[in-house]
Structure 1
Amino acid sequence: MATPFAILLRNHHAGGRAVVDLFVRAAAAQRDRPHGAVLDQLAREAREDLGFDERVMRRLGVRPSWPQVVALRLGERVGRLKPNGRLLRRAPLSDLVELEGLIAGVHVKIAGWQAAQVAGVLEEGELAELEGLLDRARSQAERLAQAHLAAAASVLARQA
């Protein structure tokens, strides 16, 4: 039977893979927006962040839950089919919705890493690395919040 920490790692790993997919898609779709370069950088950082989780999982002998990874990654793709006011083209509101999803994903990552800090399972070097990753994740949340406000002003102000 898997430990609660192993289950947490699997859950966050699967969610992290889906969030990386969303970062990549948002960065590609919003490349010509003022915050496109920020999303590109955040996509690279998200891949690196996932690497930390995978290294801890390998050290602890925790295997990813591939059905969960596939389900969440598929869910991210199905989420693209949401009604957005446009049938064949990307709707302006999509930028805003993607950024909101990314903000939520980064906050879940922060919460998972904070839980890992107090679990008593990480080694000293991992805890030190995690401090830096948490600082970066907080910066990611702030950069996403700024991009979100800019996108909201751009998308919603046109409709007023």
Structure 2
Amino acid sequence: MIDESRLATYLQDHYAGSAAGIELFKRAADQQTDPVVRTALAKMVQEVEEERTALERYLAAVGAKPDQLKNAGAWMAEKLSRLKPNGELLRRSPLSDLVELETLRIAVEGKAAGFRTLRALADEEPHFDAAELDSLLTQVAQQIEDLEALRMATAQRVLRHP
């Protein structure tokens, strides 16, 4: 039997994480120096927003709603992460392109873990749509593959002498 209180907290944590993830995806899509990367990330922004909507439905299914305090904390953490120095003071560092892609890859790995957990519970939780979760997992796997390809191409571009 599923502990719906713990499940609600788990979903709220992933929902809050998605708030930070969406902000990072949007910022990276706007600021990446490579137009191919910007285009790929802009496409992923829409997917990540749709995934967040699915999380919101699963929260409602267990009688919970997003925790505004957690959401605000995740949003603030994403904003504070922008303050890290990457070797440049007055302009965007080329390293920011690479670090953002690595951060996005890590975030999407966490999202995948959350969806795998929900999928494992789908047989016991009647409100969880196994087919939708399978589809989300397929989409997330493609995001991971795409982010890794973008990350490696960016690493080659950024870490070599011009």
TM-score bucket of the superposed structures, by smaller chain:
over 0.9
Counterpart check, 1:64 vs 2:66: yes
Residue of 37, 40, 48 corresponding to 2:39? 37
The offset of 1:2, in angstroms, is 6.5
SS at match of 2:159: helix
Tell me the TM-score normalized by structure 2: 0.91
Q: How far did residue 55 of structure 1 move? A: 1.1
Aligned residues: 158
Counterpart position of 1:123: 127
**Distance change in 2, residues 1:155/1:50 (3 Å):** same
Find the counterpart in structure 1 of residue 105 from structure 2: 103
1:136 to 131, 139, 142: 139
RMSD: 1.7
CA distance in 1, matches of 2:23, 2:45: 8
Percent of aligned pairs sharing the same letter: 36
For 1:121, what is the secondary structure of its paired residue? coil
1:33 is displaced (CA, Å) by 3.0
CA offset digits 1:25-83 (Å, max 9, x no partner): 00000264332111110111111111100111122221211111111111101100001
Give the equivalent residue in structure 2 for 1:55: 57
Partners of 1:44 and 1:9 in 2: CA distance: 20
Residue ranges of structure 1 left out of the alignment (5+ in a row): none
| Matching residue of 1:13 | 15
